[in-house]
Amino acid sequence: MHRQGTENGDRDKMRYSAAYPTGAERKVSANTGLARLSCAGNYSLFSYGNDVIRFATSPRLVKYTRIKKWDDGYLEVGADYGKGEVEDYIDIRAILDNLYYDTDASLSKIDNVEVVHE
């Protein structure tokens, strides 16, 4: 933000531009609705924003192959347990509830989920 003077009109303009982001800034904030799912060892990792939720999974899980459906905390995924892809389900809502998160507020920030292979 540029400061181009000290008159009240300029200060009001600066306050306005800080309070209402430009198109580029809105575009960045719109992308924050992405969550990521991965697995490492006997754990799955679900991350969004600054939060990383780790929960136990089968030791046979090799990787998640794809997200089939995201429905407000309920994931339908493709998972590889060493014998090809099978359909699996993860209830993120229940996990967040058990961790005493504000589940509705947390899930409202997520628009989409992607699989990440680490």
Q: What is the pLDDT of residues 92-112, one digit of tens each?
A: 999 999 999 999 999 999 999
Given a contact cutoff of 8 angstroms between Cβ atoms, the answer to whether 68 and 77 are in contact is: yes
The pLDDT tens digits of the residues spanning 37-48 come to: 999 999 999 999
Of the chain, the percentage scoring pLDDT greater than 90 comes to 67
Which residues, 6+ apart, have CB-to-CB distance to 95 below 8 Å?
Answer: 46, 53, 55
Chain mean pLDDT for the chain: 80
Decide if 8 is inside a domain.
no
pLDDT of res. 118:
73
Find tokens 């628009």 and name the residue: 111
Q: What is residue 54's three-state secondary structure?
A: strand
What number of other Cβ atoms are within 10 A of residue 106's Cβ?
19
Cα radius of gyration (the chain): 20
Domains identified in the chain, total number: 1
Decide if 24 is inside a domain.
no
pLDDT band at 27 (very low <50, low <70, confident <90, very high): very low
Domain range for 90: 34-115
